[in-house]
Structure 1
Amino acid sequence: MGFRKRKRVVPFRSAGELDAMAAAGAVVGAALVAVRAAAKPGVSTLDLDEVAESVIRGAGAVPSFKGYHGFPGSICSSVNDVVVHGIPSADVVLADGDLVSIDCGAILDGWHGDSAWTFGVGTLSTADEELSEATRLSMEAGIAAMVDGARLTDISHAIELGTRAAEKKFGRSFGIVDGYGGHGIGREMHMDPFLANEGEPGKGPTLVIGSTLAIEPMLTLGTTETTVLDDDWTVVTDDGSRSAHWEHTVAVTADGPRILTTRPA
């Protein structure tokens, strides 16, 4: 008897499950807003971690990063040349002009939200402001490609094109960090498939109504190459250039992409 190959799709959720993920995502958004408000010169990244954890637990949720493969924090706090996975520390004290990327996750009723935000402490250099904005625009381009019937690498390609468009807009080049990217998300924080931040379109599993992905470009003002420090977590640019990281958890709906990690105004 004949056997038809099943079409590979990006894992999908029901409308009710998407609402449950959005509730978890709203907790993450609230934590990020609170962290940004607290990020002033003289404040340590450990202080910021405590702010995030108190918001998350206060909402009846659990920080998804804390204890994840032994990670000690509720946020990843990545300052200046740290790309991702910076460990909150009393020894990392923010100063005017620092570029800070905060990645945060929460679990509510078994569902995960995951989002990242880059912002400045005090006054940023023009280059740093443009780097963060370029990363945000790249994320937005990826989000816009989250439509029913698209292929996974259509999103990767859209993110890459978003980066190239930002280069034209700002008249400077940006490095797309090699080897890191987005991911499936649902009842676990990191699920297949891996979502690259560049590449050819038209490949990989198909997106369907309810498919969920974390879209997260990471750009630098220089190299695409990074090194993991001896703590086995902190990822830094090899040339010391500054880096930015933006991320939202997004779902495909019949009405277009839905951001599940909204931030309170």
Structure 2
Amino acid sequence: MNRSARHRALPLVAIGAVALLALTACSSDDDSSSDASTPPSTSASATGGSATTSAAPKVSGTVTVFAAASLKETFTTLGKQFETTYPGTKVVFNFGGSDTLAASITSGAPADVFAAASPKTMKTVTDAGDGDGAPSTFVRNQLEIATLPGNPDHIATLKDLTKPGLKVALCAKTVPCGSAAQTALTASSLKLTPVSYEQDVKSALTKVELKEVDAAVVYKTDVNTAGGKVEGVDFPESAKAINNYPIVELKNAPNDAGAQAFIALVKSAEGQKVLSGAGFLNP
């Protein structure tokens, strides 16, 4: 080949080399892109060990929740939402006076979650070592006087409940609503002897609904859920007796994943919307 021919061939060779390098680079880039977009596969050890990639526990089965009676309506609603979110699950509730529920838990009753109407009753459970982690306050609640519809006895203040002949129901002093009522009465230097001490707030409210008493000291949320069956009367002393509601997963929860998921729902924006809609105060 003469010199002029060689000069013409060299550019063609160089162009071919550049094209080959570009093609190789593209192929390398394509391989890297493919690796990045493909999720890593679960790997196991050569000896047959467990997978190294962890996943969130699946929520299934029955979740047992012990909750203060005043949470009945809202927690029932949240329980249905929970079952919709996690198909195949079932939430079983035990509603009652917080002190009674706490005693059941410390006696070994199987449950996953405890939601109390006061830190004092929650402390009964945690002091016994039955709580898994620290409880957290998820709502607060304030007292209100429930009267017969139309308020025929013209009750306007807490002091009016001490009128002669007026029949009043209170929660038992060991129950959070009863303890709060006593705090309000003490702050007002009032002494009130009810015709009935009830074991939970719903029982006290029922006494008014059935017209067995003229009034009862309950929570605002209970008056709200009763609708037209009772009439609520606010009193300023209630501001000195607001109850914090704590919730905790129980130490030996049969359904650990379910307990965590239910507590997460209660504390979520959706859960708080349901609770505040019933009259509960923000934590």
TM-score (normalizing by structure 1): 0.27
- Richer in helix (by share): 2
TM-score (normalizing by structure 2): 0.25
